[in-house]
Structure 1
Amino acid sequence: MPAAKWSTAEELATDEDAFIKLMHCLAGVYFWEFFTSLDFDWAFISGKKKFQWPLIFYMLGRYCLFFALIGILIALDARTEVNCQALYTFDQLAGDAAVGLASINLSIRTMAVWSQNLWIVIPLVLVILGHWSLILQGVLLTAEWIPGQGCAITKTNNTTLAATFIYSMCFDALVMVLSVIKLYGRKQRSQLVSILFKDGMIYFLVAFIANAIATSFMVLNLNAIMAIIFNVPAAIASTIVACRAVRRLSNFSNNGPEIYTASSHSGVVGFRSMTNQVQSSHGVATRPRSGHTKDISAGVHVQMQTFTVEEAPDNLRPKALDLESAGSETDVGSPVDYADYKSEAL
């Protein structure tokens, strides 16, 4: 289609109708995802699970996008005059913030995988600050109230918007490469490492493709509506996969016994005594060996196969399991604050 035809009144009306229908469809998808996962949020709000600082970014990302979508629906469905500029300014900032917070969630995992190595943490923090300097640029679109039609986007700053999404793609690529370097070469992958690798790869692919599509339409700049029509799908895709990755990691420790190491080089792994589960009618509960009973609250939690010791019933009693060689195959880093997820600390 010739470029001039994208700016005709008929084409703009068609694009606006498509935009409205797409936004309602995407809002329904995200609201379904949001409400079906509220039990996870409520567990922390009600105190059933201990709330730790990394979840701040998870919560902010979810709720920023939730309220941004509500604002978009209000702007699209309003039948009485509203302040369209204020609504779309809020929607833009909240939606872009959700994209930035999704990237932060992935970068926190990468910092943890690298055991909070300052050579990794400091550059990533600087990259995050650069990302947010673009996100908080200010008003990047202009919207007006048109009688009989409602709120309409009349102008967009495509250069800054495109730069923000391109930066997001490069940011996600960077943290994914760092994770792959650390995790991919392991001789034997624990279930935890597999989850980290798989979820990180899925997040990167989904977010990268969604952001690439949005950026392409911003660069083409066919008209004010088509330039931003795929921004919301990109934000929703990034937020959903990032939040699911956080929930999977957080729930991982609740599905089986946990073990910890004193450091990434100690090579000593013991079952946490808090589990104290009898694994079969002739199995035994396990405890840390007496030489390794020091409480390490920020250790590395790793999913292991359940071990049982078969004994005669009259000799059934707790015994320690010698897993001296397990540490080198299972731990993924030294103790880090990310352990406070109450999921798997990396």
Structure 2
Amino acid sequence: MTDWKLPAEIQKDTEAFVKLMHSVASIYMYEWFISLDFEWDFLSGKKRFRWPMIFYFLNRYFLLLSLIGIIISFDKIEGLNCQALFTFFQLTGNAAIGLVSINLSIRTMAIWAHNRYIIGGLVLIILGHWSLILQGVQVTTTLVPGVGCQIVQSHSKILPAIFIYSMCFDFIVLSLNTYKLIGITSSPSRNLRGRGRLTHMIFTDGLVFFILAFLSNFVATVFLLLNLNQVMGVIFNVPAAVISTIVACRAVRRLTNFTFNRPEII
């Protein structure tokens, strides 16, 4: 049986961690690049900017900055302040996780036709989520000469709470969407053109997005709770944030493009 606490095993896990982070960062940067036309539509005036888009852009660029910080931390830069760098990209990364839930919640509010009870409940859940996110950095790092930044200790109390909360939050959002969509499908007015198109769009990709976000947080939570060592405990945190951000931002783009063509529906 593998002894995850052995220095040799931790070193091997660190090498795997570095490779995984580069791969995940590449995937996200590719996704970011191929969707820049959406930003251009706002800059060029083709789409009117509305306040919910603030959370979309913050989500995208906070995670982008976080990934850039992670990649920099692997460089062998003499005098690099690893703790400050990790503080930066963990705060932006955690914020991205919170913004994912906000973006998915805004989509849910739209599906529920801005029902005030749904909005009130989701806002309370969002505030609870951010009360955990804003509790700061949960990883201690140091600069190893000739190697780069390495994780010395991962504090395993708040991080699991953040991901478990995110997972439960996503499940609530998924349940609300499923319930509403079933209601729309069984409604006598389901043949209305706008509502039918919205329902079809949600069923074809929306629920898949929510499920992927839920599952990515679930995997990260399992490894956080197992806490095999300081590296394996956090190895899937970034992939979870990237997957969640990609699916949430795609959901926002789909809904925005839909409402741009049919503004009277939402």
Where do 1:237-256 residues align within 5 Å? 237-252=243-258
Higher deviation after alignment, 60-69 or 80-89:
80-89
Name the CA distance, whole Å, in 2 between partners of 1:183 and 1:113.
8
What residue is the counterpart of 1:98 in the other structure?
96
Q: CA deviation at 1:32?
A: 0.4
Aligned match of 2:236: 230
Alpha-carbon displacement from aligned partner over 1:268-296 (angstroms, at most 9, x marks no partner): xxxxxxxxxxxxxxxxxxxxxxxxxxxxx
One-letter code of the match for 2:201?
I
Q: Which has the higher helix share?
A: 2
Could you tell me whether the CA contact under 8 Å between 2:174 and 2:211 is conserved in 1? Answer: no
Select which of 9, 15, 19 maps to 1:11.
9
Structure 2 partner of 1:128: 126
Residues 320-342 of structure 1 show CA distances to partners (whole Å, capped at 9, x for unaligned) of xxxxxxxxxxxxxxxxxxxxxxx
| Alignment deviations for residues 129-180 of structure 1 (CA, whole Å, 9 cap, x no partner) | 0000111111211011112221011111112100100000100111121122
Distance of 1:114 and 1:49 partners within structure 2: 23
Verify: 1:196 aligned to 2:202, yes or no.
yes
Match of 1:113 among 107, 111, 114: 111
- 2:226 corresponds to: 220
SS at match of 2:171: helix
Gaps of 5+ in 1: 259-298, 302-344
Q: Does the alignment pair 1:20 with 2:26?
A: no
Identify if the C-alpha distance between structure 1 residues 253 and 54 changes in structure 2 by more than 3 Å, giving closer, same or farther.
closer
Identify the residue that residue 317 of structure 1 maps to in structure 2.
none
Structure 1 position 54, deviation (Å): 0.9
Give the Å deviation of 1:253.
Answer: 5.1
Shift of 1:68: 0.3
Q: Deviations over 1:88-136 (max 9, x none)?
A: 1111111111111111111112122222222211111010000001111
How many Å separate the matches in 1 of 2:101 and 2:10? 33
Partner residue in 2 for 1:329: none
**Higher RCO (C-alpha under 8 Å, 6+ residues apart):** 2
Aligned residues: 258
Q: How far apart in 2 are the matches of 1:115 and 1:148?
A: 56
TM-score (norm 1): 0.71
SS in structure 1 at match of 2:208: helix
- Distance in 2 of aligned mates of 1:113 and 1:245: 12
* TM-score w.r.t. length of structure 2: 0.92
Contact 1:72-1:91 within 8 A present in 2 as well: yes
Identity %: 54
Unaligned runs of 5+ in 2: none
Q: How does 1:254-269 map to 2 (within 5 A)?
A: 258=262
**How far off its partner does 1:182 sit?**
1.5
Please say if 1:74 is aligned against 2:72. yes
Equivalent AA in structure 1 for residue 138 of structure 2: L
Q: What CA distance in whole angstroms lies between the structure 1 residues aligned with 2:218 and 2:89?
A: 21
Contact 1:106-1:200 at 8 Å conserved across structures:
no
Match of 1:180 in 2: 178
- Residue from 281, 300, 316 that aligns with 2:264: 300
Q: Partners of 2:115 and 2:42 in 1: how far apart?
A: 29
Residues 58, 101 of structure 1: 8 Å contact kept: yes
Give the letter aligned to residue 152 of structure 1. Answer: Q
- Pick the aligned partner of 2:166 from 162, 168, 181: 168
Q: Could you tell me whether the CA contact under 8 Å between 2:107 and 2:255 is conserved in 1?
A: no
CA contact (8 A) 1:102 1:239 kept: yes
Which stretch has the larger CA shift, 146-155 or 182-191? Answer: 182-191
